[in-house]
């Protein structure tokens, strides 16, 4: 018992010590986790703020890393510094391994292509400029030739992952200059990193005073690594790929074996003193890029890098870049910074301009290539900080290098914007929108019909669309016919490759009937109308594509499609054919020009629209947005018809209701976007008012409303007043007037207003034409994303 009493205090003390230690460990872990999420949140927040400026994520991450890292560095002890360094070294090893997997070593043994010549010219000129100027400025604590060559090689390289992501996000990756700069960036990145790998071997031997035998031994190990990766690994990888076919989950043992094999290849040279980051790059370069295992490794590692590693990496960069040691008061500090930036920029631009002159490029595009190829990234930041930690350079020089890397990224979006502006000027584009169409030019309409029952409404639409005889309208009447097995059996191949003749009796009779009706009308009343006949004979899943191709080939400005539902004798609409509805919705998404959907509820029964007196009352509803502007532009054509009495009804939202809706978060729209849309709306409506309303040709009515309920009531009040109502498909920027209407609409392709007007509760004698302005290709404002400018 006495012995027990003696040991009780020691056990209690040990327990308290253990508890205190666990508390410290869990406290540190909690702080680290919270710090990680704080860093991630700040990076995402700043990136969101910089999105209007098209800045890549590297820009926001660098800013956040420098600020947060310098703010928190006093709270970090030595152990956290070491932990951060271990995490960064491991993450950078994974980064370089994936970078190597995306490289093609076979380019070393091929004749230089055009992009390779651009890359080599930029690298050589930058290398020469750097080697001739760096020795005269004190960048390193010792002017070793190895440091000068290493820094020159790094300055001549390009961060291909950052460059590729930027070019892709800015939508020029499919253009000729986009493809060229991506390929040239990969060439530059591969050659410069490979040179660093080779140079590190000699520098390691020199610094550690290894014997020649040990140097050859390390080189031999690297050679064995590359041979195994190039010759042995394809056998193993192909076996794993064959055992795990596409579409099935990968087997766990095979996955473990593949990961272990790749890790083994990366780690072997490190046993003999080689750098693990560079070893991973060499292993990845010579491993096979194709196959399921390689794609799996690239996808998983890139995901981990993006979500976990990059916030930690930039925080580590900020911790190691102590801004108080930057020494901004010293002139030499600014000389280093400006000289490094000048070497990178001037060297690349001079090299690409020379290469462009030889290859026949325009000099502005050559300059743009050089500016884009100056881009640096994560690996270059890692080298700048590692050189400081190794004692090769001072903290001031290291921070200057980080700033230079930052500036090479910041200017890139402006360069891309300049490329797009020049492409718009030099590349012929056909912006097929009524809003942009010259009123004095002829209007080309692709007028689609399902059959003879659409003929009356189609003829009346053709009549009111023609405006004046000069310039008139060109109408391509297009039959939309489903290609069935019965019809396909009657097709006869013509002389051309894509020419076929339809011999099906039902189809030919129907087409003859439609042609006769249109031709008779044009012969009697066709002043200013040019009639053409087209056919869209396809299965429903291909018909939309055929219609879009027709419109693009014919340079049409407007496609008018019949609604998939037809009006019955009692005025109600039938269920319609789902296939035609699918076609309409797909044409709206992919059309190269504006699209209108005509809901015929009596327009086809109007026998003849006179050109001597008013026989048709038409209204156009304007709320706001590009679709409503397009509807207003079409209404401007209709207003010139002497037999049409047009009324413009503008829905305006009460200012108090709009402010209340914004405060309540009823609808979300950025202030800048709303102001731009409202500016365009006001300009468009002012132009229309001056041309048509001011002269008394068009009636004008304003309706002030505070909610979508009042919008619905106002629409109901128009019942029976007009034969045709023209509306835009979109809800406009004043979405408070249509908020909630999308929730119960039956046909989303008609939009909220069009759906109400064509509903069963509305007048059975009012036809509706819903107009949608097409989405511009490639999101480059009318410029195809595969444009050519070189």
Indicate whether 344 pLDDT > 50: yes
The overall average pLDDT reported for the chain is: 83
Cα separation, 473 vs 466, whole angstroms: 5
Q: Write down the pLDDT at residue 665.
A: 47
Is the bond leading into 262 cis (omega within 30 degrees of zero)?
no
Query: Which tokens go with 599?
Result: 């809901």
Structure-token pair, residue 299: 């996808």
Between 467 and 154, where is the model more confident? 154
Strand 491-493 to 500-502 pairing: antiparallel
Q: What is the average per-residue pLDDT within 739-745? A: 71
Q: Which residue has the higher pLDDT, 433 or 586?
A: 586
**252-267 helix and 292-304 helix, angle to the nearest 10 degrees:** 70
Please report the pLDDT score of residue 6 as a whole number: 45
DSSP state of 777: G
Cβ atoms of 473 and 528 within 8 Å: the answer is yes
- Which two tokens mark 131? 């080697």
First to last CA, the chain: 95
Residue 749 token pair: 């392709």
User: Per-residue pLDDT for 90 more than 90?
Assistant: yes
DSSP letters, 1-48, are -HHHHHHHHHHHHHHHHHHHHHHHHHHHHHHHHHHHHHHHHHHHHHHH
Which of 766, 715, 722, 704 lies closest to 741, judged by CA?
Answer: 715
Query: What gap in Å lies between CA 75 and CA 382, rounded to an integer?
Result: 23
Interior/surface letters 380-419, b for 16+ CB within 10 angstroms, e for the rest: bbbbbbbbbeeebbbbbbbbbbbbbbbbbbbebbebbeeb
* Beta partners for residue 620, in sequence order: 648, 726
Residue 574 sits at φ, ψ, to 5 deg, of -75, 175
Q: Phi/psi at 646 (nearest 5 deg)?
A: -100, 135
The DSSP call for residue 693 is I
H or E segment at 64? Answer: helix 57-72
How do beta strands 529-538 and 767-772 pair? unpaired
pLDDT value at position 731? 53
Collapsing DSSP states into helix, strand and coil, what is residue 633? helix
Q: Quick check: bond before 360 cis, omega within 30? A: no
Q: Find, among 173, 144, 180, 106, the residue nearest to 359 by Cα.
A: 180
The two three-digit tokens of residue 113, written as one number: 């292509």
Residue 377 in contact with residue 58, Cβ under 8 Å?
yes
Q: What pLDDT sits at residue 424?
A: 73
| Lowest-confidence region among 70-79, 146-155, 254-263, 454-463 | 70-79
171 pLDDT more than 50: yes
669 against 110, higher pLDDT: 110
Q: For the chain, what percent of residues have pLDDT higher than 70?
A: 87
Burial 206-240 (b: 16+ CB within 10 A, else e): eeeebeeeebeebbebbeebbebbeeebbebbeeb
- Residue 228 pLDDT: 86
Give the tens place of pLDDT for each residue, 298-336.
Answer: 888 999 999 899 999 999 999 998 888 888 888 888 988
Residues 537 and 501 sit within 8 Å (Cβ to Cβ): no
**Which of 290, 291, 284 lies closest to 242 in space, CA to CA?**
291
616-622 and 644-653 as β-strands: parallel, antiparallel, unpaired?
A: parallel
Question: How many of the other CB atoms lie within 10 Å of CB of 654?
Answer: 15
Task: Report the C-alpha gap between 311 and 253 in whole angstroms.
Answer: 32
| Interval 529-571: pLDDT, tens | 888 999 888 888 889 888 988 888 888 889 999 998 888 777 6
Q: What is the pLDDT of residue 779?
A: 47
Between 425-429, 626-630, 712-716, the lowest mean confidence (pLDDT) is in 425-429
Angle subtended at Cα 222 by Cα 217 and Cα 228, rounded to the nearest 5 degrees: 125
Give pLDDT tens digits for 128-168.
999 988 888 877 766 678 888 888 999 999 999 999 999 98
Give DSSP secondary structure letters for 696-740.
Answer: TSSEEEEEEESSHHHHHHHHHHTTTT-SEEEEESS--S-GGGTTT
Q: In Å, how far are 403, 463, 547 from 406, measured between CA atoms?
A: 5, 61, 48
Taking the C-alpha atoms of residue 369 and residue 335, their distance in angstroms, rounded to an integer, is: 26
Residue with tokens 């051309």: 496
At residue 748 the predicted structure's pLDDT band, cuts being 50, 70 and 90, is confident
Residue pair 185/119 in contact (Cβ under 8 Å)? The answer is yes
pLDDT in tens, 97-109: 999 998 888 888 8
DSSP 8-state class, residue 440? T
Alpha-carbon span 213 to 726, nearest angstrom: 86
Here the tokens at position 434 are 């009524």
Q: Taking a C-beta distance cutoff of 8 angstroms, is the pair 65, 315 a contact?
A: yes
Pick from 149-163, 503-517, 685-699, 768-782: least confident: 768-782
Q: Which of 208, 207, 188 is nearest to 196 (CA)?
A: 188
Dist CA 146 CA 199 (whole Å): 8
C-alpha span between 367 and 169 (Å, rounded): 21
């Amino acid at each position: 018992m006495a012995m027990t009493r003696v040991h009780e205090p020691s056990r209690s003390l040990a327990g308290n010590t253990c508890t205190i230690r666990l508390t410290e460990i869990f406290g540190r872990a909690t702080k680290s986790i919270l710090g990680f999420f704080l860093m991630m949140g700040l990076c995402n927040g700043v990136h969101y703020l910089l999105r209007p400026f098209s800045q890549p994520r590297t820009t926001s991450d660098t800013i956040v890393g420098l600020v947060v890292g310098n703010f928190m560095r006093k709270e970090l002890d030595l152990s956290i510094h070491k932990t951060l360094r271990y995490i960064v070294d491991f993450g950078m090893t994974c980064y370089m391994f994936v970078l190597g997997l995306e490289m093609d070593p076979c380019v070393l043994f091929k004749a230089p292509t055009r992009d390779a010549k651009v890359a080599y010219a930029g690298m050589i000129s930058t290398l020469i400029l750097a080697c001739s100027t760096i020795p005269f400025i004190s960048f390193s604590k010792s002017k070793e030739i190895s440091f000068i060559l290493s820094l020159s090689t790094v300055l001549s390289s390009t961060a291909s992952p950052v460059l590729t992501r930027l070019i892709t996000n800015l939508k020029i990756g499919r253009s000729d200059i986009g493809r060229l700069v991506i390929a040239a960036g990969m060439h530059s990145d591969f050659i410069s990193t490979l040179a660093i790998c080779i140079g590190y071997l000699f520098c390691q031997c020199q610094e550690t005073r290894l014997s020649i035998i040990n140097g050859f031994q390390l080189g031999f190990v690297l050679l064995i690594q590359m041979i195994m990766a190039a010759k042995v690994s394809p056998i193993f990888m192909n076996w794993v790929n064959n055992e795990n076919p596409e579409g099935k989950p990968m087997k766990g043992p095979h996955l473990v074996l593949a990961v272990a094999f790749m890790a083994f290849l990366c780690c072997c040279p490190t046993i003999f003193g080689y750098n693990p980051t560079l070893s991973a790059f060499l292993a990845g370069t010579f491993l096979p890029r194709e196959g399921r295992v390689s794609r799996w490794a690239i996808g998983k590692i890139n995901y981990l890098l993006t979500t976990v590693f990059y916030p930690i990496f930039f925080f580590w960069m900020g911790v190691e870049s102590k801004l108080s040691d930057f020494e901004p008061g010293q002139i030499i500090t600014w000389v280093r910074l400006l000289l490094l930036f000048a070497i990178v920029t001037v060297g690349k631009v001079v090299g690409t301009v020379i290469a462009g002159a030889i290859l026949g490029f325009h000099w502005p595009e050559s300059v743009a290539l050089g500016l884009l190829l100056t881009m640096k990234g994560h690996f270059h930041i890692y080298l700048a900080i590692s050189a400081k930690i190794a004692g090769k350079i001072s903290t001031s020089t290291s921070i200057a290098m980080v700033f230079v890397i930052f500036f090479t990224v910041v200017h890139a979006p402006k360069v891309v914007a300049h490329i797009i502006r020049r492409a718009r000027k030099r590349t012929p584009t056909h912006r097929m929108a009524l809003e942009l169409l010259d009123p004095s030019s002829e209007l080309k309409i692709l007028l689609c019909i399902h059959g003879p029952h659409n003929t009356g409404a189609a003829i009346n639409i053709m009549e009111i669309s023609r405006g004046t005889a000069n310039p008139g309208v060109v109408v391509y009447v297009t039959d939309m016919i489903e290609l069935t097995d019965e019809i396909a059996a009657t097709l006869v191949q013509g002389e051309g490759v894509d020419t076929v003749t339809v011999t099906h009796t039902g189809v030919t009779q129907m087409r003859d009937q439609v042609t006769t009706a249109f031709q008779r009308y044009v012969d009697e009343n066709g002043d200013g109308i040019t009639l053409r006949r087209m056919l869209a004979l396809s299965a429903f899943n291909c018909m939309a594509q055929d219609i879009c191709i027709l419109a693009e080939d014919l340079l049409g400005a407007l496609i008018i499609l019949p609604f998939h539902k037809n009006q019955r004798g009692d005025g109600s609409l039938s269920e319609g054919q789902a296939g035609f509805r699918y076609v309409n919705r797909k044409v709206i998404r992919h059309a190269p020009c504006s699209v209108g959907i005509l809901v015929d509820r009596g327009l086809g029964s109007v026998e003849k629209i006179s050109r001597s007196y008013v026989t048709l009352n038409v209204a156009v509803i304007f709320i706001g947005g590009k679709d409503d502007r397009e509807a207003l532009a079409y209404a401007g054509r209709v207003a010139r018809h002497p037999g049409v009495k047009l009324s413009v009804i503008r829905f305006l939202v009460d200012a108090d209701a709009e402010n209340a809706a914004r405060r309540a978060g009823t609808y979300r729209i950025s202030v800048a976007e709303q102001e731009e849309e409202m500016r365009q709306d006001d300009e468009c409506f002012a132009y229309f008012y001056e041309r048509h309303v001011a002269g008394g040709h068009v009636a004008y009515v304003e309706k002030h409303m505070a909610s979508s309920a009042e919008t619905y009531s106002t629409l109901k009040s128009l019942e029976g007043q007009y034969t045709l109502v023209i509306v835009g498909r979109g809800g406009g920027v004043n979405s408070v007037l249509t908020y909630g209407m999308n929730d119960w609409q039956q046909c989303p392709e008609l939009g909220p207003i069009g759906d109400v007007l064509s509903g069963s509760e509305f007048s059975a004698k009012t036809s509706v034409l819903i107009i949608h302005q097409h989405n511009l290709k490639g999101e480059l404002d009318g410029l195809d994303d595969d444009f050519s400018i070189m």
